[in-house]
């Protein structure tokens, strides 16, 4: 006998929690666009408006346009028994749904757009550039679109800006790296805004990660302070997938696939020799998403180490015992380690506390955990397993570091498609007159998230609730290294992204 179980049918659902987790979720809109960006505007409009050329030229149906009130709830897990009465005062956090608007704020004929890629490389960067250009030119008819070379520092040499059109970008989606070039460091708010103003730019499309986002937030502040009418849109990029709230960042899936290939090779090597141990290090400074997803995807991993989980080598419950058992059982084992994992263990070994070395953007340069781990395991497991096999074999360790191999490749199909959505929605958002926003998929719906909501937060693997990490622990059989924590929110009160991440507030 089966009993149907359903949520109370007449319950009106509201998401829980108010907006306290995200702060002010309102977006900035450019209030008045003057003649620099079009003289056909109706002066009485608070937000000047022009008909969207999509409705005129392409004659797309009105149902393709998004209404001002369409929103995406930030939290979709609810407790139906506690939320059936909507409290008018407690507005649920929600973000504006992305997509084209019937009326737009800038005159496309006189609009001028700039595109820049910043930070580490990532599969899909060129697709985003391509699609921003395509949408601006084909759908809105913007003539003047420029590629700013080599990241933020490129604003200081406008003579090097590259005019971009359909022909130039046609094959970009098949290329890895960044055709425009990228860089770390070289950021200067004043110089960037001076340059945007001097070049009469009214739309800036910034493609980058967490550092880039912080820079873009400052640019938008400065633009606002100076009373300029420039929309600043961010398309979040990083193979690390460490941007909070959004379901995933573009390029991440491609990187995971490439990492999985490396893991499979490590497994082949491990299987090829008695007591074979493959150690694979993948990127992921503060978040271990690549390691987690690639480990899960491959199903051959015995131990997955990520920055979010502290671990130890020796003693009961340590990784040496776990791997020794696996080697004796299967004659092979595979370890995947994210570059940011175990940094505390390496630091603890160093005699003096050295000064932290940073890159030009201020990111801490990490110690090579992969090499360190492979060396430690060689001696530890060698001692432990001595004389335990028929031929007295020693552990055969192969260390594989595919770091740059996973991000220098062209995007896979799923990422190419995702890049297309993001790029087009960034253009639609800019034409809506919005500024200081990040375009991203939240709970599978693309929306405009205010940049300030995302700065100083990070997406990290959720190890405190049932999420993808649980599967890693069970699939690998590795020690959990977690202890019971009393003050963990129940799952319905938090936002868990599709990739198994949770928002971490930074200090
Ligand atoms: N706090 C910040 N304020 C302004 N600019 C920043 C900040 N952090 C990083 N940037 C700039 O953003 C760009 C990219 O940052 P980086 O950390 O290298 O990559 P990513 O954006 O991929 O995280 C660099 O040019 C860097 O100087
Ligand atoms: O050698 P580089 O270019 O500094 O890049 C290394 C870093 O770039 C990343 O791939 C991604 O970093 P960002 O997306 O934040 O730029 C990290 O995983 C890695 O630590
Ligand atoms: Mg970064």
% of the chain surpassing 70 pLDDT: 86
**Whole-number pLDDT of residue 13:** 47
Residue 368's pLDDT band (cuts 50, 70, 90) = very high
Q: Token pair of 48, please? A: 């000047």
Per-residue pLDDT of 382-414, as tens digits, reads 988 987 777 777 899 999 999 999 999 999 999
**CA 120 to ligand 1: nearest atom:** 22
| Residue 304 predicted with pLDDT over 70 | yes
| Residue 44 predicted with pLDDT over 80 | no
* Mutation pick for ligand 2 pocket among 178, 234, 240 (CB with most ligand atoms within 8 Å): 240
**Whole-number pLDDT of residue 9:** 44
**Whole-number pLDDT of residue 390:** 73
Alpha carbon nearest to ligand 1 atom 4, residue: 215
**Whole-number pLDDT of residue 299:** 95
Q: Which ligand is nearest to the CA of 212?
A: 1
Contacts 24+ apart (CB under 8 A), 473-476: 475/295, 475/296, 475/299, 475/301, 476/295, 476/301, 476/302, 476/303, 476/304
Residue 298's pLDDT band (cuts 50, 70, 90) = very high
Residue 34's pLDDT band (cuts 50, 70, 90) = low
| Residue 351 predicted with pLDDT over 50 | yes
Q: Which residues are catalytic?
A: 240
Place of tokens 């346009």: 65
| Residue 14 predicted with pLDDT over 60 | no
| Residue 18 predicted with pLDDT over 50 | no
Q: Assign residue 245 a region: left if phi > 0, alpha if psi is -120 to 50, beta otherwise?
A: left
If you write DSSP's letter for every residue of 263-328 in order, what string do you get? HHHHHHHHHHSTTEEEEEEE--SS--HHHHHHHHHHS--SEEE-TTS---SSSTTSHHHHHHHHHH
Q: Which ligand is nearest to the CA of 407?
A: 2
Q: Which ligand is nearest to the CA of 151?
A: 1
| Residue 36 predicted with pLDDT over 50 | no
Q: Measuring from each residue's beta carbon to the nearest atom of ligand 1, which residues come in under 6 Å?
A: 118-120, 151-152, 183-187, 208-212, 214-215, 218, 238, 361-363
**CA 185 to ligand 1: nearest atom:** 27
Task: Give the mean pLDDT of 214-235.
Answer: 95
| Residue 226 predicted with pLDDT over 50 | yes
**Whole-number pLDDT of residue 57:** 76
Alpha carbon nearest to ligand 1 atom 8, residue: 211
Instruction: Say how many Å lie between the CA of residue 198 and the centre of ligand 1.
Output: 23
Task: Give the mean pLDDT of 240-246.
Answer: 94
Residue 35's pLDDT band (cuts 50, 70, 90) = very low
**Whole-number pLDDT of residue 78:** 63
**Whole-number pLDDT of residue 77:** 67
Instruction: Say how many Å lie between the CA of residue 184 and the centre of ligand 1.
Output: 6
**Whole-number pLDDT of residue 46:** 54
Per-residue pLDDT of 124-139, as tens digits, reads 999 999 999 999 999 9
| Residue 257 predicted with pLDDT over 60 | yes
**Whole-number pLDDT of residue 10:** 43
Task: Give the mean pLDDT of 476-490.
Answer: 73
Q: Which ligand is nearest to the CA of 249?
A: 2
Angle, helix 125-134 to helix 413-431, in steps of 10 degrees? 40
Say if residues 244 and 448 touch (Cβ distance below 8 Å). no
| Residue 43 predicted with pLDDT over 80 | no
**Exposed/middle/buried for residue 258 (C-beta within 10 Å: 0-12, 13-18, 19+):** buried
**Whole-number pLDDT of residue 93:** 75
% of the chain surpassing 90 pLDDT: 69
Instruction: Say how many Å lie between the CA of residue 275 and the centre of ligand 2.
Output: 33
Instruction: Say how many Å lie between the CA of residue 359 and the centre of ligand 1.
Output: 10
Nearest Cα to Cα of residue 408 among 120, 123, 116, 151 = 123
* Mutation pick for ligand 2 pocket among 152, 258, 281, 285 (CB with most ligand atoms within 8 Å): 285
What is the rounded CA–CA span in Å between residue 142 and residue 133? Answer: 9
Per-residue pLDDT of 198-211, as tens digits, reads 999 999 999 999 99
| Residue 500 predicted with pLDDT over 90 | no
Distance linking the first and last C-alpha atoms of the chain: 53
**Whole-number pLDDT of residue 342:** 97
Alpha carbon nearest to ligand 2 atom 3, residue: 120
Instruction: Say how many Å lie between the CA of residue 179 and the centre of ligand 2.
Output: 18
Task: Give the mean pLDDT of 45-65.
Answer: 79
Residue 486's pLDDT band (cuts 50, 70, 90) = low
Residue 506's pLDDT band (cuts 50, 70, 90) = confident
Q: Measuring from each residue's beta carbon to the nearest atom of ligand 2, which residues come in under 6 Å?
A: 119-120, 209-210, 238-240, 283-285, 339, 359, 407
Say if residues 305 and 338 touch (Cβ distance below 8 Å). yes
**Whole-number pLDDT of residue 493:** 54
Per-residue pLDDT of 73-118, as tens digits, reads 877 766 666 554 445 555 567 889 999 999 999 999 999 999 999 9
| Residue 465 predicted with pLDDT over 90 | no
Find the length of the chain.
507
Mean pLDDT computed over every residue of the chain: 88
């Amino acid at each position: 006998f089966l009993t149907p179980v359903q949520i109370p049918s007449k319950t009106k659902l509201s998401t829980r929690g108010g907006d306290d987790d995200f702060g002010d979720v309102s977006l900035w809109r450019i209030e008045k666009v003057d003649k620099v960006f079009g003289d056909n505007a109706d002066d009485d409009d608070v937000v000047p408006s022009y008909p969207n050329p999509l409705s005129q030229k392409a004659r797309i149906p009105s149902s393709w346009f998004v209404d001002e009130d369409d929103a995406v709830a930030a939290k979709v897990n609810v407790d139906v028994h506690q939320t059936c009465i909507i409290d008018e005062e407690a507005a649920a956090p929600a973000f504006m749904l992305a997509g084209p608007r019937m009326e737009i704020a800038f005159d496309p004929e006189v609009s001028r757009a700039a595109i820049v890629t910043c930070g580490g490389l990532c599969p899909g960067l060129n697709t985003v550039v391509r699609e921003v250009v395509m949408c601006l030119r084909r759908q809105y008819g913007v003539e003047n679109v420029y590629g700013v070379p080599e990241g933020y520092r490129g604003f200081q040499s406008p003579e090097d800006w590259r005019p971009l059109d359909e022909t130039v970008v046609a094959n970009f989606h098949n290329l890895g790296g960044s055709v425009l070039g990228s860089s770390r460091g070289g950021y200067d708010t004043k110089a960037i805004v001076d340059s945007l103003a001097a070049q009469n730019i009214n739309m800036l499309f910034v493609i980058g990660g967490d550092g880039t986002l912080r820079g873009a937030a400052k640019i938008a502040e400065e633009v606002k302070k100076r009373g300029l009418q420039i929309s600043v849109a961010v398309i979040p990029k990083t193979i690390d997938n460490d941007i909070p709230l959004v379901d995933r960042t573009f390029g991440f899936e491609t990187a995971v696939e490439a990492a999985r290939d490396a893991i499979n090779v490590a497994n082949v090597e491990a299987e090829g020799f008695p007591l074979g141990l493959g150690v694979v290090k993948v990127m992921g400074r503060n978040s271990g998403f690549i390691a987690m997803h690639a480990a899960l995807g491959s199903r051959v991993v015995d131990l997955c180490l990520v920055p979010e989980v502290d671990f130890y080598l020796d003693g009961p419950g340590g990784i040496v015992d776990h791997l020794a058992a696996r080697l004796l059982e299967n004659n092979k084992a595979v370890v995947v380690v994210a570059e940011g994992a175990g940094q505390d263990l390496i630091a603890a070994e160093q005699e003096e506390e050295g000064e932290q070395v940073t890159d030009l953007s201020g990111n801490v340069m990490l110690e090579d955990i992969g090499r360190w781990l492979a060396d430690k395991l060689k001696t530890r497991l060698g001692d432990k397993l001595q004389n335990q096999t028929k031929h007295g074999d020693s552990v055969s360790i192969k260390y594989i570091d595919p770091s740059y191999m996973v991000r220098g490749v062209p995007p896979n199909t799923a990422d190419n498609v995702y890049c297309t959505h993001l790029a087009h929605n960034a253009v639609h958002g800019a034409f809506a007159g919005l500024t200081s926003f990040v375009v991203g998929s939240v709970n599978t719906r693309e929306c405009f998230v205010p940049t300030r909501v995302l700065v100083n937060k990070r997406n990290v693997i959720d190890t405190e609730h049932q999420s993808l990490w649980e599967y890693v622990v069970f699939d690998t059989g590795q020690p959990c290294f977690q202890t019971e924590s009393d003050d963990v929110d129940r799952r319905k009160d938090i936002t868990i992204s599709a990739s198994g991440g949770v928002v971490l507030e930074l200090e």
